[in-house]
Amino acid sequence: MLVNCVAYREGHKLADIPVSAISDHLSQPGCFVWVALRDSDQREMALMQEEFGLHDLAIEDALHGHQRPKIEEYGHTLYVVLHLVEFSPTDDLQVGEVNVFVGPNFVLSVRNRSTLGFLGVRERCEREPELLRQGSGFVLYALMDAVVDRYFPIVDALETELETIEGQIFHRGAGRSNIERLYELKHKVTALRHAVSPLVDGAGKLHGGRVPAVCAASGDYFRDISDHLARLQTSIDTIRDTIGTAIQVNLSMVTIEESEVTKRLAAWAGIFAVATFFVGVWGMNFEHMPELKWPWGYPLALGLIASTCGVMWWRFRRAGWL
């Protein structure tokens, strides 16, 4: 589905143009066309392929979807796949894609399975004609920057979730829910890592050293994206590492808790074993058990039992078992 199709010259918007007028503008010097599609079907992509002369393999990838993020050169055209990550209403991570084709005089972006649009990007670009004059490479930067900037709040949300779990990790009895939440968090982090990691390498090839021609004018800007990606990567690695430690620590806490329960069990079992032994003694049927005839025998017996158990209780208490 066509979102919009605009021609630019010298950084300024010329006009919204129909798809049929694309080829006219492509041939004009200093002019480039920026087309945005959404959830495109095969017919639409075939049309675009013809207009911009795109490579079969790139079109196939874009139609098939579920690519990993990547930056590939086909002749003078760059083919960029980025993951769009957002929280679904049920708080899961939902991963869509945007495919961007960038040639010297065109940008084609195809967004799939995502509610996140790029209208804001286009508006911002049009407000800064002196930057947009850098050409289609700057549009690629603006799109990548928008996508990468949207990863930060997600990393923040995952860090917050991790901190919440950490706040409960030393609480008694929270072992089961902690481990479930850590496992789920690990899945989310993995999804985000798949969006970020492959880009770190890819974006590194858009500045410094040999750079695709369309990106040459915007080197500092692509380095800025690389830097953001490196920051994300660090945060993600830290979360992953911390999850690993947290799972270990949680297991330790569960074991410690069990050990505490075992101690309490042992202490109470000991106290009652002694008491039961005493009452058993005076339940024996020997004929000559003088204390059974004492008038104060019964209360004395109860008192003896109570005080013995009391002493045991006090000693277990002092040892930290109770």
Q: How far is the CB of 180 from a copy of itself (least distance, A)?
A: 6
For a copy of itself, the closer CB: 29 or 283: 283
Q: How far is the CB of 122 from a copy of itself (least distance, A)?
A: 20
Q: How far is the CB of 172 from a copy of itself (least distance, A)?
A: 9
By CB under 8 A, residue 183 contacts a copy of itself = yes
Q: How far is the CB of 297 from a copy of itself (least distance, A)?
A: 5
* Sign of the torsion angle spanned by Cα atoms 250, 256, 258, 261: negative
For a copy of itself, the closer CB: 1 or 251: 251
Q: Which helix (H) or strand (E) holds 76?
A: none
Number of residues engaging a copy of itself in binding (CB under 8 A)? 86
Taking CB under 8 A as the criterion, the residue among 10, 16, 50, 180 binding a copy of itself is 180
By CB under 8 A, residue 20 contacts a copy of itself = no
Distance separating alpha carbons of residues 254 and 185, to the nearest angstrom: 20
Taking CB under 8 A as the criterion, the residue among 289, 304, 306, 311 binding a copy of itself is 289
By CB under 8 A, residue 266 contacts a copy of itself = yes
Q: Which residues, numbered 230-259, are part of the site for a copy of itself (CB under 8 A)? A: 230-231, 234, 238, 241-242, 244-259
The amino acid sitting at 175 is G
By CB under 8 A, residue 311 contacts a copy of itself = no
Tokens of 264: 């309490």
Taking CB under 8 A as the criterion, the residue among 12, 76, 264, 315 binding a copy of itself is 264
Question: How many Å separate Cα 252 from the centre of its chain?
Answer: 25
Taking CB under 8 A as the criterion, the residue among 302, 304, 306, 311 binding a copy of itself is 302
Q: How far is the CB of 307 from a copy of itself (least distance, A)?
A: 15
By CB under 8 A, residue 99 contacts a copy of itself = no
Taking CB under 8 A as the criterion, the residue among 9, 124, 133, 194 binding a copy of itself is 194
> Count of CB atoms within 10 A of residue 317's CB?
11
Instruction: Annotate 1-20 with b (16+ C-beta within 10 A) or e (fewer).
Output: eeeebbbbeebeeeeebeee
By CB under 8 A, residue 306 contacts a copy of itself = no
Q: How far is the CB of 322 from a copy of itself (least distance, A)?
A: 12
For a copy of itself, the closer CB: 4 or 234: 234
Q: How far is the CB of 22 from a copy of itself (least distance, A)?
A: 24
Tokens of 61: 């990838």
Long-range contacts of 173-182 (CB under 8 A, 24+ apart): 173/257, 175/250, 175/253, 175/254, 175/257, 178/246, 178/250, 179/247, 179/250, 182/243, 182/246, 182/247, 182/250
Residue (of 140, 63, 60) closest to 101 by Cα position:
140
Q: Which helix (H) or strand (E) holds 83?
A: strand 77-87
By CB under 8 A, residue 137 contacts a copy of itself = no
Q: Which residues, numbered 196-215, are part of the site for a copy of itself (CB under 8 A)? A: 198
Whether 121 contacts 138, CB under 8 Å: no
Q: Which residues, numbered 52-71, are part of the site for a copy of itself (CB under 8 A)? A: 55, 57, 61, 67-68, 70
For a copy of itself, the closer CB: 15 or 311: 311
Residue (of 318, 147, 314, 137) closest to 221 by Cα position:
137
Distance separating alpha carbons of residues 128 and 121, to the nearest angstrom: 11
Q: How far is the CB of 39 from a copy of itself (least distance, A)?
A: 22
- The contacts of residue 19 (CB under 8 Å, 6+ apart) are 2, 5, 35, 47, 51
